Amino acid sequence: MIEINNLTVIYPDGTKAVDNISFTAGGGESIALVGANGAGKTSLLLSLVGVIPIHSGTVTADGTALNKKTLNEIRRKIGMVFQNPDDQLFMPMIVDDVAFGPRNYGCSEAEVKERVDATLQALGITHLRDKSSLKLSGGEKRMAAVATVLAMDPSAVIFDEPTAFLDPKARRHLIGVLNGLPHSKLIATHDLTFAQEVCSRVIVIKNGRIFADGEPKEILHDVKLMEEGGLEAINAHLHYHVHENGGPGHYHMHDY
């Protein structure tokens, strides 16, 4: 459970990137944070795990308030998958990256091994175990980065643009993985059809504030609302149906 109350983030140059945002994410809920470039999504996520400081307001994870003293504790509860996997993978082999967090938090070597094995298995990437991240595809890097976070056994996971750098197949794999995770999730994304498939709630951020908050089917198809939020609605008036007796690639397009 993450509780965000009147959160404001201001950069040293005076830019107010997050402006008095409040909401709660919990109970395995999956929330998409959408909004135009520069809306404040990344700043919001980074402030939740203390990568950038909070100017005012509070962040609480499972009852623990974020401050200098609780930073390590918060980072065990809230795992963050960064936009660029290269920021998360820095060891010679993937197995070392995934082991890094649990080892750092004092798990026994037996437990570290157990967690690494279980996480790689759950994500279907045991074959990447001894590889260097330098040799991986975008999709493989993304999964490895997700593994480093899940190995910490967080209660909530936050993702910044997780479909960036992914081809359609890797994107599809990620959707399956995320829909199988029991964690509370907060996902900043430009990919609105992805948000629709993975999230049960959408929050539109505009100029650092919450502009709209509701169900994906209501928000993401609302042409006017999405336009005002600097986005393009999922095309609500076009419906594609696979031809009953047609193979892949045979579509009817209904315009109404």
Ligand X SMILES: Nc1ncnc2c1ncn2[C@@H]1O[C@H](COP(=O)(O)OP(=O)(O)O)[C@@H](O)[C@H]1O
Q: Which residues bind Mg ion (CB under 5 A)?
A: 41-42
Identity of the residue numbered 192: L
Q: With CB cut-offs between 5 and 8 Å by kind, which of ligand X, Mg ion, none does residue 67 bind? A: none
Residue 251's binding partner, choosing from ligand X, Mg ion, none, with beta-carbon cut-off 5 to 8 A by kind? none
Q: Which of residues 120 and 149 has its CB atom nearest to Mg ion in the complex? A: 149
Residue 40 contact, options ligand X, Mg ion, none, Cβ 5-8 Å cut-off depending on partner type: ligand X
- In angstroms, what is the minimal distance from the CB of 211 to Mg ion? 16
Contact partner, 244, from ligand X, Mg ion, none, Cβ < 5-8 Å per class? none
Give min distance, CB of 236 to ligand X, in A: 24
Of Mg ion, ligand X, none, which one sits near residue 38, judging by CB under 5 to 8 A according to partner kind? ligand X
Contacts with ligand X by CB under 6 A lie at 11, 13, 15, 17, 35, 37-43
Taking the complex as a whole, how short is the minimal distance between the CB of residue 15 and ligand X, in angstroms?
4
Residue 41 CA to residue 205 CA, distance in Å, equals 7
Kindly tell me the burial class for residue 153, based on how many C-beta atoms sit within 10 Å of its own C-beta (0-12, 13-18, 19 or more).
Answer: middle
User: What single-letter DSSP state applies at residue 127?
Assistant: G
Closest approach, Cβ 204 to ligand X, in A, equals 11
CB 157 within 8 A of CB 81: yes
17 or 32: whose CB is closer to ligand X?
17
Residue closer to ligand X, measured from CB, 17 or 120? 17
Give the shortest CB-56-to-ligand X separation in angstroms.
16
Nearer to ligand X, 131 or 209 (CB): 209
Q: Of 18 and 112, which CB lies nearer to ligand X in the complex structure?
A: 18
- Residue 36 DSSP code: S
Task: Identify the H or E element spanning 204.
Answer: strand 201-206
SS3 content of the chain, % helix, strand, coil (to 5): 35, 25, 40
| Ranges of H-type helices in the chain | 41-48, 71-77, 94-104, 109-122, 138-150, 168-180, 192-198, 216-219, 223-228
Cβ of residue 43: shortest distance to ligand X, in angstroms?
A: 3
Q: Are strands 156-160 and 184-188 parallel, antiparallel or unpaired?
A: parallel
